Structure 1
Amino acid sequence: MLTQKSSLVKKAALEADKVQAPILQSYDLTVAQYKFLKKLYYSPKDSVRVMDLENTFSMTHSTAIDILQVLEKKGYTTRIVNPKDARSKIVSLTDNDELYAATKKYPGRFYGYATLPVDDVEASVIELERCIKELGFVGVMINGPFDGHFLDEERFFPIFEKAAELDVRLNGKQIGRKAGATFITKKSIEAKKKIIELSKDFNGTLNDTDCIKVVGISRNAFYKYKREIKIS
């Protein structure tokens, strides 16, 4: 009886995978990748090791690593050294997408700084580019030393080169920008357009207080943008 029930469960799981596959494909995910993400989503933060994923889904270490490498390149997950056991690694969903949700909820008030899986330089470069170009982040936070390695080691250079190429801030300091140049973001451009359209100092009818509320930015940002608009 138990064998028959196990067979039915396995058959149902396979049928469910067939139904999920085309839906997940529209999100550029495979069924296996989705199962990993679901496991991480419903688990306490920083509690899932690579070996836990292997055991949960009955797969080899190399298969699990292949899936994780794809998820990392897509910016969904990151691996860090387990602080309780340096021989293993913790797998977590990236914080960047959560931060992006906050910046969208409060436009003009919060600006994103990317966090990166620094131990995987290639994945870090890909995630940094995604955060800047797709999520609209303005910089990246990297703190060292990392896993016993200092960030001035040559292995980490591609991360800094990508930051300079993208012209972003590193821990609050601008990388690759000439001294005295104005720091411009997509959000500041959008906010300035709204100020020009709505403020009575330009093309609109709203006073400063009402304009700040409608545009949804802080008072300091509003007056800073006004000055820059008048100068330009």
Structure 2
Amino acid sequence: MNEDRMELLPPGTALAWGHTATPRRGPKPAYSVEQIVEAAVAQADAEGFEALSMPAIAKRLGITANALYRYLRSKEELLVLAAEAGWGLPPEPLTGDWRTAVTTWAHALLERCRLHPWLLEVPVRGGPTTPNLLRWLEVFLEAMADSGLSDRDALGCATLVDGWARSTAALLRDIRASASDEQPAALNEFLQPRLRERGYPRVAAVLGGDYGEDGMQDTDVEFGLDRILDGIEALVAQRRA
């Protein structure tokens, strides 16, 4: 593929696959793209998504922002490569039937979001094009290979489970950020009598005094995933029939 055609690829795709343009003349670069991406991930882990900027990464490396453009063409490339490193590789091989394998896959994705919360802020501008993200998809499709679903159905299932992981991780992150250790007990003390006095008995019973992150039990997290897998299971049965 010639360099002119490379220009048509989404930002960061060629670099993620190890393709670099013809080196420019001048001094030998002080850093590799991999080192810059490592610094970007460390920056985002420490200070969040907003800290993923060319000037901030350049400062962390002790170079100028202009010098950083010798390695990367744009902030968009930086975000793509940082996300690629942040997601990393999925667990494989996945064992068990498709439901067990997909559950493992989903929890691994959720854990990656918890480890790098800033990944939830990286814009999604299309399907995956980089090695690690495509490996996540490959592993999912392999888990569904014996289910009887078509490739298109399996791809739709991957999108659905990926959405569960991202939305659940975002909810847990927001709850964690907004609640202090003392807040759930104080909120319970305030709301419970008012809920019962003003006609919310079912809400009062369901909440049971659980507010904040402490209210997100494992069963709450699993409920949505289990219902999604139930739906996929029904689709598998339908296709087999």
TM value normalised by structure 1: 0.31
Q: Is the helix fraction higher in 1 or 2?
A: 2
Q: Is the strand fraction higher in 1 or 2?
A: 1
> Which structure has more RCO (C-alpha within 8 Å, separation ≥ 6)?
2
TM value normalised by structure 2: 0.30
